[in-house]
Amino acid sequence: MFQVGDILCQRYRLVKVLGKTAIGHQTWLADDLFSPIDLYATRKKQLPLLKWVFDFHQVFIAKVYEKVTVKLLAFNPQLSWEQFKLFEREAKVLQGLEHPFIPCYRNYFELSEEQGNGVPWFGLVEDYIPGKSLQELLENGERFSEKEIRKIALKVLKILTYLHELNPPVLHRDIKPSNLILGEDNNIYLIDFGAVQDQNSVTNISFTVVGTSGYTPLEQFWGKAVFSSDLYALGATLIHLLTGISPTELHDQDYQIEFQDQGKINPFLKDWLTTLVEIKISQRYQTAREALTSLKTGKLKNSNRNNNLLKAEKKEELITKLGLTKTDESLQFLVPSSKLKLFQKLLKLETNFMNNQLELSRFIPLMTVSGLFLIPFSLTFTGIVLQNSSFIVASLEIMGGMSFLIVFVFLFLYVISKVSSNTCFSLDKETLKMQEKILGFEYDKEEESKNNIIGIYIHELRHKYNVTINTRKMIYQLGNQLTEEEAIWLAKEIEDWLN
């Protein structure tokens, strides 16, 4: 058993045990000794001339480090192989997630028997979320109003929408009050991805049976899980928060959750919660986005409507600016590029750190532009030294002319990029190719083996979407301002062709 003050991997100093731990499992709050916090960072920005004073003072005070959560798993005879697989899967899935209300993956490590008191251990490090779990609040006697329930539901559904619409989709499979943290910033965070499933989530594929009694739908105990399984768990959680009664005490003889509200909540909200926890999958909301839209609009589920977002629209029914050419041998997409992509390529300076050489195709233009800027500055400085006013005026006029020319060129390139810049992505049996084109001329190209592809992901930013293809070498971005339907259709077409 580890103790407070122990340092793991010469980096993580254990501070205190977090929550309840099962046999062979421990969860700790720890200091990351590689990430000291600069206590005077804000003051240094406000008073840059006194930076040395703050640095000097910080030497004489105790260091403060970033807090992290360290989850530990002992590899011993009491540990089943399935538990180890779930722990590894959690680490793998967390690496691919990027959401402000999901703890960020930091590290994964192993401890030998000598370091682990005779037992080898595996460790997973994530961001620490300061706050209290909803379970702690319930145990402290807190009850949640209808307004608070709606707010929690909206926030969790947005997280689930992100997870379910990744490619491949991610199912949490263990949503409950103890896995929802009310942060000190009053946001809701979803934690503990120890039961997560990241593949074959929408088909009849056997899973490890995981979950918590009362919050887990029947199909999950049968070894199957779908999007609405997470929605059932969320519904059971919200009913627990609303009534203060555990879902296990609210099941009727058919295992349906029934709760009395004594007319205290809006009838729509009660019906909406009841739909989430229906025993039959077909009677629930099928996706997090459908449930979210229903809650926002006040319109209950239409059982005859199929809203499975992974079933992409047929191309002829989808109005899109994306071009698709598909055969048995190859797949090719033409996607409008970001208007700033050309500038990123022009300004990017690639360095080969292995031989400390700069790529000439990047270095020469950089030096040329730098030289053009340095010439008028040199002339101005010379005029000042010689005290020749006409010389100074002439050099300033040159600078003004160059500035106007540069602004004009950048505006011209921006307009051209907006009108005719495209990303041409193609796949064949052997290779993946990405070409950036403007006015039909290629200005950048990447190519690698198709076997390097790890996954296809959909990302949302300010209600716009893009699709990325992650390989072992890099991340390829397709599109920049796609609609939700375009992003889903694009990801689905690529996935179908690869399969």
- One-letter amino acid at 327 equals T
The pLDDT value given to residue 319? 53
**Token couple for 40:** 């005077």
**What is the rounded CA–CA span in Å between residue 237 and residue 153?**
10
The pLDDT value given to residue 259? 79
The pLDDT value given to residue 12? 94
The pLDDT value given to residue 316? 43
Helices (H), 31-174: 41-46, 51-58, 81-95, 134-139, 146-164
Token look-up 């077409």 returns 493
Question: Would the pTM of this model clear 0.95, i.e. be above it?
Answer: no
The angle subtended at Cα 296 by Cα 293 and Cα 301, nearest 5°, is: 50
Closest residue by Cα to residue 187 from 136, 129, 147: 129
Query: Side by side, which strands form the sheet with 464-471?
Result: 453-461, 464-471, 475-482
The pLDDT value given to residue 416? 66
| Residue 189 bridge partners (DSSP) | 181
- Tens-level pLDDT at each residue, the chain (499 residues): 788 999 999 999 999 998 655 667 889 999 999 998 877 777 777 777 777 777 767 766 778 899 999 999 887 665 556 677 778 888 888 888 999 999 999 999 998 888 777 788 889 999 999 999 999 999 998 889 889 999 999 999 999 999 999 988 999 988 999 999 999 999 999 998 877 765 443 333 333 445 566 788 877 766 678 899 999 999 999 999 998 888 888 877 667 888 776 446 788 898 999 999 998 888 899 999 999 999 988 888 654 333 443 433 343 445 566 778 888 788 888 877 665 555 555 554 443 333 344 455 555 555 666 666 666 667 667 777 777 777 777 777 777 777 777 777 777 766 766 666 677 888 888 888 887 777 666 667 788 888 778 767 777 666 677 787 877 777 787 776 778 777 777 777 887 777 6
Are 72 and 123 in contact, with CB atoms under 8 Å apart? yes
**What is the rounded CA–CA span in Å between residue 255 and residue 213?**
11
The pLDDT value given to residue 363? 55
Instruction: Note the pLDDT tens digit of each residue in 237-260.
Output: 999 999 888 888 887 766 788 877
* CB count in 10 Å sphere of residue 132: 14
**What is the rounded CA–CA span in Å between residue 421 and residue 443?**
10
Per-residue CA distances from 82 to 27, 179, 209, 403 (Å): 19, 21, 10, 65
Per-residue CA distances from 308 to 227, 311, 345 (Å): 9, 6, 38
**What is the rounded CA–CA span in Å between residue 376 and residue 261?**
78
**What is the rounded CA–CA span in Å between residue 196 and residue 208?**
10
The pLDDT value given to residue 420? 62
| Residue 465 bridge partners (DSSP) | 460, 482
Count CA atoms closer than 13 A to 300's CA, side-chain side: 13
**What is the rounded CA–CA span in Å between residue 116 and residue 368?**
59
* CB count in 10 Å sphere of residue 148: 15
3-class secondary structure, 351: strand
Count of residues for the chain? 499
Are 466 and 478 in contact, with CB atoms under 8 Å apart? yes
Closest residue by Cα to residue 461 from 478, 495, 484: 484
Which helix (H) or strand (E) covers residue 131, if one does?
A: strand 131-133
Does the bond joining 168 to the residue before it have cis omega, within 30 degrees of 0?
yes
